[in-house]
Amino acid sequence: MVIRRVLAPRIDFGALRRELGLPESFPPEAQREAEQAAAAPPTPAVDRTDVPFVTVDPAGSRDLDQAMHLARRPGGGFRVRYAIADTAAHVPAGGALEAEIWRRGQTIYLPDGNVPLHPHTLSEGAASLLPDVDRAAVLWTIDLDADGGTVAVELERARVRSRAQLDYVRVQADADAGRLPEPIALLPRLGALLTARGLRRGAVNLPLPEQDVEPDGDGWRLVLRPPVPMEEHNAQISLLTGMAAAEIMLAGRIGLLRTMPAPKPEAVLRLRAAAVPLGVSWPDGVGVGEILAGLDPARPREAAFVDQAAELMRGAAYTAFDGELPEQPAHGGVAAAYAHVTAPLRRLADRYATEVCLALHAGRPVPDQVRAALPRLPEVMTATDRTAGAASRGTIELAEAVLLEHRVGEVFDAAVLDVTVPSSNGRPRPPGGTVAVDDPPVRARCAGELPLGERVRVRLVTADPTRRTVLFERA
């Protein structure tokens, strides 16, 4: 794994916060309710503190939603225990805190500090699954057969205790050295098994490197980090749980799904056509997801193909239903029905989908308050998804512009990821596209005739931090 880092000077993210209208603090009454909840945490009657859970998150995280324990199942197969922070048990119904959480919708992450869905008193304290403390959780126990197929699902509120807070880099190193701790020793085997099942049913995952801005002393660094295998394995446990939740809600005819149309056949045909000039082999009978899984985005032509494939992943939405099942309940990327239930500290929707599952699994009516919330959630989550996306893009664009501000006129090596195509009405557009610069790790627009998937030399013509704009031209 190669991580590219480039130091950037001090950056003021205040203008971006103001532009997005992000709140600076919680209203006093909401904060007071959070502190009261933290001072008197819930104590579920079911005690599962004997299970040695661990958490696996990015290094330095404090809002820990999930804790995991994997084991062999008696008689063969696997047993997945997945504990999820119980936010509903910490938030008083109808109070100022709940109202503020609805206004925020989800946590917005910025390099100089996140804008949390819940006050830090809860999200990084009393509700977070931090190590060596008892916590209230919603515990999913999912039994799988030897091929990774789900054979049984149990769901309960329980008291749990994480034994260790692990991070992806450390876990990957332990996996490579064959010394994973017992609670997740099976994760590479199980993650690979679940990934293979997903590819067989048509799941699509884009192997894109993560671009991020991280603090570095008095300044910041722009980081391009490819995903490590253990991140994908960990994500498979969350997907498994989300699919189990969707099945419970569909059987009960009420819930909130994360949906996305399957890739359109004509879009797949266009992608297959793009594979030929990019030198990507695509045998007959092999699905898009299987092709993408075998690519290396560090290679320019394969990176360009992955970028083209991103066009298939459009139209994600939250779909609420009560009584009548959705016409299109599946998520095209997962190739199955799927629901968000594993990140309630960070996403409002997860809390309510979880409450639906708890009620249905226990054979109880879904609480009126939860039922009434379902039709309101898609609009709230869609709006806050836009804000989160704008914050992420704005952060990267600002860091890139600051980093390059004094390098206008210089020439850089780059790979061509995308090229301009004529508009839908046939009007000509100036030639250009998107390039990924080698060093610093910047992705930006570039003017001029560009050969898709090839390496080129580009000249920086604009780097404007005020407008968060970077532009190159073919050298």
Residue 1 pLDDT: 46
Q: Note every long-range contact of 273-277, with CB atoms under 8 Å and residues 24 or more positions apart, other chains counting.
A: 274/305, 274/308, 274/452, 275/305, 277/452, 277/453
- Assigned token pair, 350: 């997860």
Instruction: Say whether pTM exceeds 0.75.
Output: yes
DSSP 256-279: EEEEBPPPPHHHHHHHHHHHTTTT
The yes-or-no verdict on residue 46 having pLDDT over 60 is yes
- Token pair 């990821």 is at which residue? 417
Mean pLDDT of 67-91: 96
Structure confidence at residue 425 as a pLDDT band (50, 70, 90): low
Q: Which of 36-50, 212-226, 387-401 has the lowest mean pLDDT?
A: 212-226
- HSE toward the beta carbon, residue 132, CA cutoff 13 A: 3
Give pLDDT tens digits for 60-74: 999 999 999 999 998
The yes-or-no verdict on residue 219 having pLDDT over 70 is yes
Q: Note every long-range contact of 362-365, with CB atoms under 8 Å and residues 24 or more positions apart, other chains counting.
A: 362/155
What Å distances lie between residue 416 and 175, 287, 473, CA to CA?
A: 34, 25, 12
Task: For strands 53-57 and 150-167, give the pairing.
Answer: parallel
Q: Which of 291-300, 314-323, 462-471 has the lowest mean pLDDT?
A: 291-300
> What is the Cα–Cα distance from 233 to 244, expressed in whole angstroms?
17
- The CB density around residue 245, as the number of other CB atoms within 10 Å, is 30
Give pLDDT tens digits for 340-353: 999 999 999 999 99
- Assigned token pair, 412: 């850089």
Give pLDDT tens digits for 164-181: 999 999 999 999 999 999
At position 304, the amino acid (one-letter code) is A
Q: What is the CATH number of domain 406-474?
A: 2.40.50.140
Tell which residue, 179, 210, 271, has the closest CA to residue 3.
210
Residue 424 pLDDT: 57
> What is the Cα–Cα distance from 218 to 301, expressed in whole angstroms?
37
Structure confidence at residue 311 as a pLDDT band (50, 70, 90): confident
Mean pLDDT of 132-151: 97
- Assigned token pair, 148: 């990774």
Query: Where exactly does CATH 2.40.50.140 map onto the chain?
Result: 406-474
At position 103, the amino acid (one-letter code) is R
- Token pair 């989908």 is at which residue? 353
Give pLDDT tens digits for 389-406: 999 999 999 999 999 999
Tell me which of 8 and 76 has the higher pLDDT. 76
Give pLDDT tens digits for 98-125: 999 999 999 999 999 999 999 999 999 9
Mean pLDDT of 51-64: 95
Q: Which residues contact 354 (CB under 8 A, 6 or more apart)?
A: 84, 88, 138, 245, 341, 344
Residue 209 pLDDT: 81
